[in-house]
Amino acid sequence: MQQLIIDTIRIYSLKNMYQPYNVEVDILRLDEIHPVISGNKWFKLKEYLHEAEREGKKNILTFGGAWSNHILATAAACNLTNFNSIGIVRGEKAQNLSATLEDVLKLKMKLFFTERSSYAQKKVPEEVWHQYKQEETYIIPEGGYGLAGCSGAYDIGNYYSKKYSHVITACGTGTTFAGLVKAATNNEKLIGISVLKNHLGLTTDINQLLPLYLQNQFTIMNDFHFGGYAKITKELISFMNSYYLQTSIPTDIVYTGKMFYAVDQLIKINHLPANSQILIIHTGGLQGNRSLPKGTLIF
């Protein structure tokens, strides 16, 4: 199988920015690894693709919304590895497709639109099976949640040294975070920032991907969702703009903007002890910012 090979991933130091709080912050720039398969998504996908290959499947099917990083990354990864890709998209087909779905079509993914109620049940529309053989099709769960996703994300741990006291990342399904928990040493505290509102099952979902001895050996913060998944506020946008001015780090409105905001707050309220060495995982997702009116963000 064709591989997206990643030699190194840049670690960017925020230098003296948080010196008044006696903490050091570095950022693992997964947002820079690939123009399309950015961030954590390649890591989460790769073991699924290996499994599909071992099982002799020809088609990869997955689910997502109109601006989904996961759908786009799946389309790009399948294009690279010569799988046919099938995307089940939440909601009716819009008159104008999102920029994400336009990209996905260029990558030769076949799209099927489903109304929200059948999407919620992850029903595969019948017409898919008129065009593709079910036994030749490998289904990747929504958001890449699952053990294979977790073991792929575990490899992110190879790209930073074990000197950090805290490793922080944004959580959607929690799959990436679970991989990082598995990769952690005893000295690392893992903090996940949930971007969903009332996602009370997140801790359980993460635990299900972990061996017993690692279960609950992490912290999830639930108060930084800004109103819910993909919801934005003026405060979030203005934070993202001023953070960019200060650091040159671009963030996305769904995941990393909220996560960087959370880290900034946690440091400023002294939630992280003096002398902490913090690593923030920048999981990418910048393409989703194209859903905003032009000029909203300064980057």
Contact residues for ligand PLP, defined by CB under 6 A:
39-41, 44, 69-70, 143, 170-177, 252, 255-256, 283-285
Please identify, using beta-carbon distances, which residue of 79 and 173 lies nearer to ligand PLP.
173
CB of 55 to ligand PLP, least distance (A): 23
Please identify, using beta-carbon distances, which residue of 65 and 172 lies nearer to ligand PLP.
172
CB of 246 to ligand PLP, least distance (A): 20
Torsion of CA 120, 71, 222, 208, to 10 degrees: 80
CB of 43 to ligand PLP, least distance (A): 9
CA distance 277 to 5: 28
- Half-sphere CA count of 218, side-chain side, radius 13 A: 32
CB of 258 to ligand PLP, least distance (A): 10
- Give the residue among 128, 112, 135, 114 at the shortest CA–CA distance from 57: 135
- The full 3-state SS of the chain, as one line of letters, equals CCCCCCCCCCEEECCCCCHHHCCEEEEEEHHHCCCCCCCCHHHHHHHHHHHHHHCCCCEEEEEECCCCHHHHHHHHHHHHHCCEEEEEEECCCCCCCCHHHHHHHHCCEEEEEECHHHHHCCCCCHHHHHHCCHHHEEECCHHHCCHHHHHHHHHHHHHCCCCCCEEEEEECCCHHHHHHHHHCCCCCEEEEEECCCCCCCHHHHHHCCCCHHHCCCCEEECCCCCCCCCCCCHHHHHHHHHHHHHHCCCCCCCCHHHHHHHHHHHHHCCCCCCCCEEEEEECCCHHHHHHCCCCCCCC
CB of 142 to ligand PLP, least distance (A): 9
CB of 74 to ligand PLP, least distance (A): 11
CB of 153 to ligand PLP, least distance (A): 7
* Alpha carbon distances (Å) from 85 to 48, 102, 117, 138: 13, 14, 23, 10
Closest residue to ligand PLP, judged by C-beta, is 285
Please identify, using beta-carbon distances, which residue of 25 and 153 lies nearer to ligand PLP.
153
CB of 231 to ligand PLP, least distance (A): 15
